[in-house]
Each structure stands twice: as C-alpha cells, then as structure tokens.
Amino acid sequence: MRAFLMLQKKPRSSRQLFSTISSHPSSKIMIFSTPGAEMELLIKFPCTTCSHSFATKAGLKIHMKRHRPGASDKKYKCPDCPFKTQNKTNFTTHTRIHTGERPFTCLVCEKAFNQSAACQAHMRIHTGERPYVCTVCGKAFVELSQCQVHMRIHTGERPHICNVCAKSFSDRSTLKRHLTTHTGEMPYICSVCSKAFSQSSSCKKHMRIHTGERPYTCTVCTKSFSVSSTLRQHMRIHTGEKPYSCSVCGKAFVQAASYHRHIKIHMR
C-alpha cells in the first residue's frame, strides 16, 4: 500500500522539497496548491545506498552528500546526549530539550514553546484555523501530522505494530496505550484516592469526580458535563440525532448502549 505525504503548497525549489520529504521515504507525494486542485508527484529517483526516494534528480543529489566519506562527522555535538548534527539551527533547537528554554510564547494564553513551528500550530487553537483538509471526507485539522494520521482511516494503513501480539494501529500513541494491556503498567495515580490509570487522560477525567469540574457545557441549555463524550450524547436530545440504527427493524437510538440492549431482542 502506498503512503502519502500531503503538502499544502507546492515547494518553490528542489532543495525545499528535499528538506520536506527527506525524512519521509514515501512512495508517492501529494501536493495540494489550492483547495480542490491537486498535483500528484511521483517519486522516481531512488537512492542506491538507502531506502529513500526522491521526486527530482537534484533532491537525490543533495541527499547523496550524506553518504560521502566523513559525512557522519557532525560539526555540532550535544554535550548531554549522543545527538549530533551539521546544522546549527537544529543543534540550537535540540539543546532546549536539556535547558528547558522556551523562547516562543503564545500571544493569547502565554503558553511557551521551544520551537517556533510548535507555537504557530498552537495559535490555531485560538484562531480556529484548520489548514489541513482531508481530501476524502473534508475533515480539517490544525496540524499536518493529524491529517496524515486521519487519512489512514480511509487507506486502512496501520504501520504501528505491537511486538507482543502483532496487533496493528494507525498511530503511535494508540499503540503506546495498547502496550499497557500487556505490561499492566499504570503510571498515572490520582492524588486524592490513589487510584491508578494507564493513561494520563483517564486520570484527568477521574480527578473531576473529586474536583467537581464540568468543563463541557451545552450551548443550548447550558447543562455541563465532566467528559466531552457525555456532552455529545446530550446534544442529540436537542438535535434529534439518532446515529445507532438497528439493521433488523430499523429502530434508531441516541446511545450505543441502548442500541446494543435492543439488538438482544432479535437474538433471543
């Protein structure tokens, strides 16, 4: 199955294209210059030394410099870990992992970041901008990586595989959560009742039992909820939406639990 890398704008040069895809040894690149106008760019210049391929001969030429004798002698070496690079900007960005420096600050909420790109992506939470759009279903995303992971719903691609049971997943974070079912690890502990959880998000949701926090509010009747999924179910009371339909008799339900209870009637 071919992998896709989606770019919002057509690269201005071969060097820019190379810098974008050098870490993505994909078999095909999709470039989207304007909504609805796609240009498909086939990668047809493979490196004979490693598995990377490139769309242009110039891109391959730049890449081949990495395989020259002495290319591994990086100019900038981190004193705190094995990281090394020939690029001063990459080195400066890396050192912030150790120093904790976060020079880029959100102008709205003052949250700080160690990279400019991360700060720019965060700003979209406040502006509502979602520039990366799925070409299949039209769903929009704040970050390119989110759109790429979403596309796997349509392609069926599951590149992240559990080394214990061989179950596969579309994204790394889901695999990481799955691995806790094998290890039994529960690193997130409630500071009030000491209940343990395998996921940080589960622990945060649980904490709301103690704090009474209900951050999700209905825009129609102002009723509030501790988890977003409960709010979504509640909203169906106002919209009349019944997304769970019985394939036997056609009866529809607001909640999945009600649907599953109903199905048992036909199984008797």
Q: Per mean pLDDT, which range of 6-10, 52-56, 221-225 is the poorest?
A: 6-10
Q: CA end-to-end span of the chain, whole Å?
A: 42
Question: Averaged over 172-176, what is the pLDDT?
Answer: 87
In which residue are the tokens 């020079």 written? 103
Q: Give the pLDDT confidence score for residue 34 in this predicted structure.
A: 39
Per-residue model confidence as pLDDT tens digits over 31-55: 433 344 443 444 467 888 776 777 6
Residue spans of the domains in the chain: they are: 4-67, 76-155, 218-267
Under a CB-based contact definition with an 8 Å cutoff, are residues 36 and 27 in contact? Answer: no
| In the predicted structure, residue 1 carries a pLDDT above the cut 50 | no
- What percent helix, strand, coil does the chain show, rounded to 5? 40, 20, 45
Give pTM, 2 decimals: 0.45
Cα–Cα distances (Å) from 53 to 18, 117, 120, 214, in that order, read 10, 26, 30, 50
The sign one gets for the Cα dihedral 162, 168, 172, 177 is negative
Same CATH topology for 76-155 and 218-267: the answer is: yes
Average pLDDT, the chain: 79
Under a CB-based contact definition with an 8 Å cutoff, are residues 262 and 241 in contact? Answer: no
Question: Averaged over 121-145, what is the pLDDT?
Answer: 87
Per-residue model confidence as pLDDT tens digits over 149-169: 889 888 888 888 999 899 998
Give the domain 76-155 fold: Double Stranded RNA Binding Domain (3.30.160)
Q: Give the pLDDT confidence score for residue 212 in this predicted structure.
A: 92
Q: Give the pLDDT confidence score for residue 74 in this predicted structure.
A: 66
Name the class of domain 218-267: alpha beta
Q: How far apart are CA 268 and CA 263, in angstroms?
A: 9
Q: Give the pLDDT confidence score for residue 70 in this predicted structure.
A: 57
Cα–Cα distances (Å) from 171 to 58, 130, 143, 149, 204, in that order, read 32, 20, 15, 6, 22
pLDDT category of residue 72 using cuts at 50, 70 and 90: low
